[in-house]
Structure 1
Amino acid sequence: MIKVDNLSFSFPQKDLFDKISFTLEEGQHCAFIGTSGSGKSTLIDMIMDPERYMFDGTLDIASPCRIGYVSQFSQLDKTDEITVFEYIGADYIKLQNEIASICTEMETSSDIDPLLEKYQQALDAFNAIGGDDFESNIMKQLNLANLGRHENLMVSKLSGGEFKLIQVIKEMLTAPDLLIMDEPDVFLDFENLAALRNLINSHKGILLVVTHNRYLLNHCFDKIVHLENTELQEFDGRYIDYNFQLLQSKIELQELAVADTEEIARNEIVIDNLRAVASVHTEAARGKSLNARVKLLERLEARRIKAPFVDIKQPEIFLDADTGAEETIALKVRGYSASFEDILLENVNFELKSTDKAALIGSNGTGKTTLLREIFKNNHDSIEITEGADVAFLSQLQGEILNESNTIMEEFLDAGFKTYQDIRAYVLKYGFEGEILDQKIGSLSGGEKNMLQLAKISAGKTNLLLLDEPTSHLDTYSQIALEKAIENYKGAVLMISHDFYSIVNCMDFVLIIEDKTIRKMSMRKFRQMIYAKHFDRDYLEIEQKKKAVETKIALALKDTDFERAKILSEELESLIQLF
């Protein structure tokens, strides 16, 4: 259906693709992964509208090929006064009305031939998108997404997560030859994420989905396309199998690198000796021997370069806290209530100690962001932040914290940095280098903007972090780096998140919104609740064993014990086969 062959493309400030190739074939569900800013969205744009771009290589799309698209940036229109059913079925209803109108016109027209042609065109278009059964198909998809009760609900009443699912259903129902979805999981709560998994797995056509969500990656795809450092590789199989293949490559490369390092050291000694001799004796044979050794050293040095897909550099996120020696209460919430048209939260009570890390969770539209913003403003009678606290806020609306008309350089000069050299050295740790520093922030990817927010927060000492969906748009490598930074942070954290892995990897407990109030839940009970609802039986036990073996492999590689790493990788492979 889609064939990309030796495709190369560059912007003036950045090379994106260098002779990349891959195919998408009938029925494949493909996850499109890669670090933020690697060019995933640009490649999608090229597939959807190749005429807009000047590129080398070939991009072949079978004809005819109808492409559906779900954007990561779609917004709910609160003024849209149509029902969910009408919204999803708009294309069908429009064609249905057009066919009925043509039939009415034919009853009184004396020139019926052009009307018959229009009728056939409209009927063909209706049949091409599965019009015969569209009412029942809409209801099947709504029920699959646990949204059957919303059939007659106004679209304006949906939460953001529900609206995203409605968009996915709308695109899937028209049965495009290829459906492209760009981060459809962003901001979805656990229930909606499970519904999205059901929709993806039930879809019969080709899917190309940009996602960094580890839950979807582990449960939805049979092909991986990985774009990194201008290169691309494809893998036919599950994401968990792809990661295992990368780990095996890493063991082999590190073992080779250690052997090469020893060989390089030996050759450097030989070269030094040959140079010393050559400075005294000028025989041609000695010169040839020296040149041969130098070329061997160059080959060994070149081979030490890490493969772009195996050893991807994580950003160095460091969250510095300005805390006292004794543990105190950082935040108290007593009797807090919030309402708009309806009551969102009522009589909410909780507190956060100065080293607590708590996840604030709940369904979309239950008031999480409203509460977090109120805490940041700190002008509500029910909210008390300890005196002298330095609070930092990361917003899911990135333009609130970042001036998108600034360049990265200008943003950090405004933030108090004194020199360009200081900024360059600082933001390099977060993956920003070269000419990208002079780009407008508005042109960056969603993941790059979130990383920039984290870089700004990290630049100052704080003792209370308020994070609203900090992992949204971040690639998996950056998510793991953020989890480590939060785990090592010495202050208090209140984090809104729907990312199960980020919560269990770095939070102490959760504050769950239920029945318009908040209750505290231990991490053990939270894990049990999520696994019971959204994972297969025995998944938790197998995953914990898998993580323990992966930790042992990492330690073995650190100690350069490659034989042990290989034995452990066989144990890991047997666990992976159980998923």
Structure 2
Amino acid sequence: MIKVDNLSFSFPQKELYNNISFTLEEGQHCAFIGTSGSGKSTLIDILLDPEKYLYDGKLETDPDCKIGYVSQFPELDEAKETTVFEYLAEPFIKLQNEIQSICTEMETSTDLEPLLEKYQQALDSLDAMGGDDFESNIHKQLNAANLMKRRDSKAADLSGGEFKLIQVMKEMLNRPDLMIMDEPDVFLDFENLNALKQLINSYKGMLLVVTHNRYLLNHCFNKIIHLENTEIQEFDGRYIEYNFALLQTKVELQELAVAEQEEMERNDTIINNLRVIATYNSNASRGRALRARVRFQERLEARRIKAPFVEIKQPNIRFVMDDEMEDTTVVSVHHYSVGFDELLLDHVSFEIKSTDKVAIIGANGTGKTTLLRDVYNNNHASIEVNADAKMAYLSQFQGEMLKDANTILEEFIDAGFKTYDEIELYLSSYGFEEEILRQKIGSLSGGEKNLLQLAKVSASKANVLLLDEPTSHLDTYAQLALEKAIGEFKGAILMISHDFYSVVNGMDYVFIIEDKTIRKMTVPEFREMIYANHFDEDYLEMEQKKKSVEMKIEGALKDTNFELAKGLLEELEELIKRL
């Protein structure tokens, strides 16, 4: 239905695509992945409105292909005064009213032919959307997302996560041939994320979804399109199988690289010997032998395999602090209550120690962000912050901590850096090249903005980090780098997150918000609760075994023990088949 052939496109300051090609076909649920700022959202915009862009190459779309789109940004205004059901039913009711209007007009018109044509077109459109049974279809979607209880609620009263799901449903109910979604998972709590998984997996049409969410990637897609360093790679299969294929290729390439390096070292020795001989023996044949060897060496260098998708460089996120605190309480919360139109949290009490890493988990709209802000601002009577605590804050609302009108350089001068050279050196480890530093922050992708927030948090050298959805918009490589930075940090972290893997891989324990209060839970308990609710009984055990084997493969590669690595790959492949 969609064919992209040798497409190239650049912005003045950056090349995005260099002769990329891929296809989208019926029945495919395709995940679109790639590092932040690689051009995923721009490519989607080109697919939606190719006339807006000057690109080289071909973009072919089936003329009958109807495309639906869900933006990463909610659009609530149009739905403010309607109920959830009315919002979802709006396109069906609009067509029904149009059909009724045409019928009324036909009763008095003398020229029926154009009206009959309009009538048939409207009927066809309603039929294509399943309009005869639209109320039942809406109820099925609401039930799939566990939102039937919100059927008659005002759309304006929904949480942001609930409304995002309603937007997804509305597009699905229109039955487009291709549905494109740009990061539909951002800020969804785990229940809503699971509902999104259900909606994706039950959808019969073709999907192209930009996502970095490892939970969705592992459970929703049968094709991967990976955009990296101006190139595209297609993979027919699950994300878990794609990662296995990358690891398999990595083993092969490293083994080949070691063999090539040994060959080049042998060749270097021969060249050096020939050069020594040539200094005291100017025989023409000796010179020819030397030149031949040098050309051979150049050919070896030229054919070194470049694999831009196998080992992508992670940003070097590191949280450092000026002074480590002694083992003491850094944040005390006693009988904290907060609410707006209604009470959100009531008489909540807890303490955070100087090295605790704690995740706050709860449904959208339960007061998590308000609590974290109150801790950061330290102006609430129920909250006490240790005098030696130096706090840094990352906001899920990026404009709260970054000024869109600033360039990156201006933002970091405002943050206390002295020179542009100092900023350039610092941000290079986060993957920001020199040419991007004079861009306005407003022009960056969501992932790039969150990386800048993480860079500012690190530069503050705080010993207490308050992180509100730090993985939102981050690509999977940056998420893994963040997990590593959290694991190595010696201070305290209080983190709101709906990213399951970041919580179970980096936190000491979890605060679950339920019924306006907080319940403390260990990470193993939290992991088992999630798996029990959403997976088969032995899934957790299989995934833990998979992770263990992957770590052994990485160890074998460090030791250049390729035979062991290949044997472990066979073991890993069998585990993946069972997941």
Separation in structure 2 between the aligned mates of residue 278 and residue 413 of structure 1, nearest angstrom:
57
**What's the C-alpha RMSD, in Å, of the aligned pairs?**
1.5
Instruction: Report the CA distance between 1:386 and its aligned residue.
Output: 0.5
Instruction: Report the CA distance between 1:175 and its aligned residue.
Output: 0.7
Matched, 1:231 2:231: yes
Given that residues 325 and 388 in structure 2 are in contact (C-alpha distance below 8 angstroms), is that contact kept between their aligned partners in structure 1? no
Q: Which residue of 2 aligns with 1:566?
A: 566
Counterpart mapping for 1:1-12 below 5 A? 1-12=1-12
Which one-letter code corresponds to 1:349 in the other structure?
S
Counterpart mapping for 1:401-416 below 5 A? 401-416=401-416
CA offsets, 1:261-311, max 9 Å, x none? Answer: 222222222222323333444444333322222222223334446410101
Separation in structure 1 between the aligned mates of residue 419 and residue 284 of structure 2, nearest angstrom:
53
Counterpart mapping for 1:330-341 below 5 A? 330-341=330-341
- Segments of 5+ residues of structure 2 without an aligned counterpart are none
Separation in structure 2 between the aligned mates of residue 41 and residue 275 of structure 1, nearest angstrom:
55
Separation in structure 1 between the aligned mates of residue 269 and residue 92 of structure 2, nearest angstrom:
77
Which one-letter code corresponds to 1:273 in the other structure?
N
Cα 1:535–1:322 shift into 2, 3 Å: farther
Q: Which residue of 2 aligns with 1:161?
A: 161
Q: Which residue of 2 aligns with 1:300?
A: 300
Q: Which residue of 2 aligns with 1:56?
A: 56
Given that residues 78 and 156 in structure 1 are in contact (C-alpha distance below 8 angstroms), is that contact kept between their aligned partners in structure 2? no
Q: Which residue of 2 aligns with 1:268?
A: 268
Given that residues 78 and 157 in structure 1 are in contact (C-alpha distance below 8 angstroms), is that contact kept between their aligned partners in structure 2? no
Which one-letter code corresponds to 1:391 in the other structure?
M
Which one-letter code corresponds to 2:101 in the other structure?
S
Instruction: Report the CA distance between 1:183 and its aligned residue.
Output: 0.7
Q: Which residue of 1 aligns with 2:179?
A: 179
Which one-letter code corresponds to 2:469 in the other structure?
E
Separation in structure 1 between the aligned mates of residue 2 and residue 86 of structure 2, nearest angstrom:
32
CA offsets, 1:98-147, max 9 Å, x none? Answer: 22222233334455444334333332332232211111111111111111
- TM-score normalised according to structure 1 size: 0.97
Which one-letter code corresponds to 1:245 in the other structure?
A
Higher mean C-alpha deviation, range 523-532 or range 289-298: 289-298
CA offsets, 1:191-227, max 9 Å, x none? Answer: 1111111111111111001111111111111111111
Given that residues 323 and 490 in structure 1 are in contact (C-alpha distance below 8 angstroms), is that contact kept between their aligned partners in structure 2? no
Which one-letter code corresponds to 1:444 in the other structure?
L
Instruction: Report the CA distance between 1:234 and its aligned residue.
Output: 0.6
Separation in structure 1 between the aligned mates of residue 571 and residue 227 of structure 2, nearest angstrom:
29
Q: Which residue of 1 aligns with 2:393?
A: 393
Cα 1:402–1:15 shift into 2, 3 Å: same
Q: Which residue of 2 aligns with 1:312?
A: 312
Cα 1:324–1:236 shift into 2, 3 Å: closer
CA offsets, 1:332-359, max 9 Å, x none? Answer: 1111111111111110111100000000
Cα 1:105–1:77 shift into 2, 3 Å: same
Separation in structure 2 between the aligned mates of residue 286 and residue 23 of structure 1, nearest angstrom:
54
Q: Which residue of 1 aligns with 2:39?
A: 39
Where 1:269 maps in the other structure, the secondary structure is helix
Where 2:578 maps in the other structure, the secondary structure is coil
CA offsets, 1:505-558, max 9 Å, x none? Answer: 000000010000111111121111111112222110000111111111111111
Given that residues 322 and 491 in structure 1 are in contact (C-alpha distance below 8 angstroms), is that contact kept between their aligned partners in structure 2? no
Separation in structure 2 between the aligned mates of residue 300 and residue 382 of structure 1, nearest angstrom:
68
Q: Which residue of 1 aligns with 2:197?
A: 197
Where 2:162 maps in the other structure, the secondary structure is helix
Q: Which residue of 2 aligns with 1:514?
A: 514
Q: Which residue of 1 aligns with 2:498?
A: 498
Q: Share of identical aligned residues, percent?
A: 69
Matched, 1:453 2:456: no
Higher mean C-alpha deviation, range 111-120 or range 244-253: 111-120
CA offsets, 1:311-335, max 9 Å, x none? Answer: 1111100001234452010101111
Instruction: Report the CA distance between 1:257 and its aligned residue.
Output: 1.4
Higher mean C-alpha deviation, range 339-348 or range 56-65: 56-65
Separation in structure 1 between the aligned mates of residue 307 and residue 419 of structure 2, nearest angstrom:
34
Given that residues 324 and 491 in structure 2 are in contact (C-alpha distance below 8 angstroms), is that contact kept between their aligned partners in structure 1? no
Q: Which residue of 2 aligns with 1:150?
A: 150
Separation in structure 1 between the aligned mates of residue 28 and residue 299 of structure 2, nearest angstrom:
40
Given that residues 76 and 160 in structure 1 are in contact (C-alpha distance below 8 angstroms), is that contact kept between their aligned partners in structure 2? no
Separation in structure 2 between the aligned mates of residue 302 and residue 334 of structure 1, nearest angstrom:
66
Higher mean C-alpha deviation, range 250-259 or range 164-173: 250-259
Q: Which residue of 2 aligns with 1:359?
A: 359
Counterpart mapping for 1:95-106 below 5 A? 95-106=95-106
Given that residues 145 and 198 in structure 1 are in contact (C-alpha distance below 8 angstroms), is that contact kept between their aligned partners in structure 2? yes
Given that residues 75 and 160 in structure 1 are in contact (C-alpha distance below 8 angstroms), is that contact kept between their aligned partners in structure 2? no
Cα 1:352–1:78 shift into 2, 3 Å: farther
- Segments of 5+ residues of structure 1 without an aligned counterpart are none
Higher mean C-alpha deviation, range 467-476 or range 263-272: 263-272
Separation in structure 2 between the aligned mates of residue 302 and residue 292 of structure 1, nearest angstrom:
15
Instruction: Report the CA distance between 1:69 and its aligned residue.
Output: 0.4
Instruction: Report the CA distance between 1:78 and its aligned residue.
Output: 9.5
Given that residues 253 and 305 in structure 2 are in contact (C-alpha distance below 8 angstroms), is that contact kept between their aligned partners in structure 1? no
Matched, 1:17 2:21: no
Q: Which residue of 2 aligns with 1:487?
A: 487
Given that residues 144 and 199 in structure 2 are in contact (C-alpha distance below 8 angstroms), is that contact kept between their aligned partners in structure 1? yes
Where 1:577 maps in the other structure, the secondary structure is helix
Count residues with an aligned counterpart.
Answer: 579
Given that residues 329 and 352 in structure 2 are in contact (C-alpha distance below 8 angstroms), is that contact kept between their aligned partners in structure 1? yes
Instruction: Report the CA distance between 1:438 and its aligned residue.
Output: 1.8
Given that residues 26 and 205 in structure 1 are in contact (C-alpha distance below 8 angstroms), is that contact kept between their aligned partners in structure 2? yes
Given that residues 144 and 198 in structure 1 are in contact (C-alpha distance below 8 angstroms), is that contact kept between their aligned partners in structure 2? yes
Counterpart mapping for 1:80-159 below 5 A? 80-159=80-159
Separation in structure 2 between the aligned mates of residue 357 and residue 263 of structure 1, nearest angstrom:
49
Higher mean C-alpha deviation, range 290-299 or range 442-451: 290-299
Counterpart mapping for 1:277-296 below 5 A? 277-296=277-296
Instruction: Report the CA distance between 1:21 and its aligned residue.
Output: 1.2
Higher mean C-alpha deviation, range 116-125 or range 349-358: 116-125
Separation in structure 2 between the aligned mates of residue 460 and residue 314 of structure 1, nearest angstrom:
21
Cα 1:284–1:67 shift into 2, 3 Å: farther
CA offsets, 1:385-432, max 9 Å, x none? Answer: 101311100011111111111221221122221222211111010010
